[in-house]
Amino acid sequence: MDAAIVSDVHCDGPDSVAQQDFLRFLAGCPAPTLVLAGDIFHAFWAPGGVPFVAYQPVLDALRGFDLVVLPGNHDFHLPAQFGLAAASIGTTIERRLGGLSAVLSHGDEVDRSLKYRLFHGVLRGPGFSWLLDRLGTELAWETLHRLAGPLGLGKPDGALVAAQRALAGQRIAGGAELVVMGHTHAPSCERIDGGWFLNPGDWVEHRTYGVVRGREVELRCFEG
Ligand SMILES: [Mn+2]
């Protein structure tokens, strides 16, 4: 196995089943490279540079992997934790995974609605960051959870899923051999015009992840 790819795990502390499952997955994951394609955490922040204690076991378990870290809409501050500046919607990373040249993103860039753009423009701006750092850990946790909403609600949005497929087609036409987009909680692994489109799914409902081996891509379910 060359790489494992996960998104939308929505880890939310020691009591969250998703976090318990994900920790078991990480403990047994043989892939040297691990792609975190956004929303690994339900409401990530690091007030004053210190991540929420509830998430620390996962951060510890990630050590030792060659990590690729993308910002999700629930954990857009995560790349900063790894010294990366990327936090904006539509951040893409191009790199080789196994024998494939891949274009990776969280997948929320297909949401062109003004509401989403404005909301996330504010959340990811310096003002909100300043505010959260001053609220202190407990209030920052509470505020972010209010904004993140309850877990497990909302079925995959058909319009966004279709838009992702179309965007994947464009990226494949542009030379990508593997396109990864999550966010919609709609696991799939398909071929488009000779390339691969992978949506790793989520760990709220499906517990799915992608695997790259050479030039092959596969969607698997964690049975743990
Ligand atoms: Mn998302």
Q: Lowest-pLDDT range, 3-17, 117-131, 185-199?
A: 117-131
User: How much is the pLDDT for 151?
Assistant: 60
Q: How many whole angstroms separate alpha carbon 221 and alpha carbon 158?
A: 22
- pLDDT single digits (tens) 158-197: 999 999 999 999 999 999 999 999 999 999 999 999 999 9
Domains and CATH numbers, the chain: 3-221 (3.60.21.10)
Please tell me the distance between residue 128's alpha carbon and the centre of ligand 1 in angstroms. 19
Please tell me the distance between residue 73's alpha carbon and the centre of ligand 1 in angstroms. 5
Q: How many whole angstroms separate alpha carbon 37 and alpha carbon 3?
A: 13
User: How much is the pLDDT for 154?
Assistant: 62
Q: Lowest-pLDDT range, 26-30, 56-60, 72-76, 119-123?
A: 119-123
User: How much is the pLDDT for 167?
Assistant: 98
Confidence of residue 149 (pLDDT cuts 50, 70, 90): confident
Confidence of residue 156 (pLDDT cuts 50, 70, 90): confident
Residues near ion ligand 1 (CB < 5 Å) are 39, 72-73, 183
Please tell me the distance between residue 214's alpha carbon and the centre of ligand 1 in angstroms. 28
Please tell me the distance between residue 77's alpha carbon and the centre of ligand 1 in angstroms. 13
Q: How many whole angstroms separate alpha carbon 71 and alpha carbon 62?
A: 16
Helix axes 137-148, 126-135, angle to 10 degrees: 130
Q: Mean per-residue pLDDT for 11-15?
A: 97
Please tell me the distance between residue 71's alpha carbon and the centre of ligand 1 in angstroms. 9
Confidence of residue 153 (pLDDT cuts 50, 70, 90): low
Confidence of residue 87 (pLDDT cuts 50, 70, 90): confident
Please tell me the distance between residue 111's alpha carbon and the centre of ligand 1 in angstroms. 10
Q: Mean per-residue pLDDT for 217-224?
A: 95
Please tell me the distance between residue 12's alpha carbon and the centre of ligand 1 in angstroms. 14
Please tell me the distance between residue 224's alpha carbon and the centre of ligand 1 in angstroms. 24
* Strands of the 93-97 sheet, one edge to the other: 93-97, 100-105, 178-181, 195-199, 188-192
Listed in sequence order, the residues at least 6 apart from 123 whose beta carbon sits closer than 8 Å to its beta carbon are: 76, 147
Does the structure show a pLDDT above 70 at 37? yes
User: How much is the pLDDT for 204?
Assistant: 94
Q: Mean per-residue pLDDT for 122-132?
A: 91
Listed in sequence order, the residues at least 6 apart from 65 whose beta carbon sits closer than 8 Å to its beta carbon are: 26, 29, 31, 32, 33, 34
Q: In percent, how much of the chain has pLDDT > 70?
A: 98
Q: Mean per-residue pLDDT for 89-118?
A: 96
**104 close to 35: Cβ distance less than 8 angstroms:** yes
User: How much is the pLDDT for 152?
Assistant: 53
Q: Mean per-residue pLDDT for 118-134?
A: 91
- pTM above threshold 0.85: yes
Please tell me the distance between residue 92's alpha carbon and the centre of ligand 1 in angstroms. 14
Question: Coil, helix or strand for 89?
Answer: coil
Confidence of residue 85 (pLDDT cuts 50, 70, 90): confident
Q: Mean per-residue pLDDT for 45-74?
A: 96
Please tell me the distance between residue 42's alpha carbon and the centre of ligand 1 in angstroms. 9
Q: How many whole angstroms separate alpha carbon 43 and alpha carbon 52?
A: 9
Please tell me the distance between residue 161's alpha carbon and the centre of ligand 1 in angstroms. 12
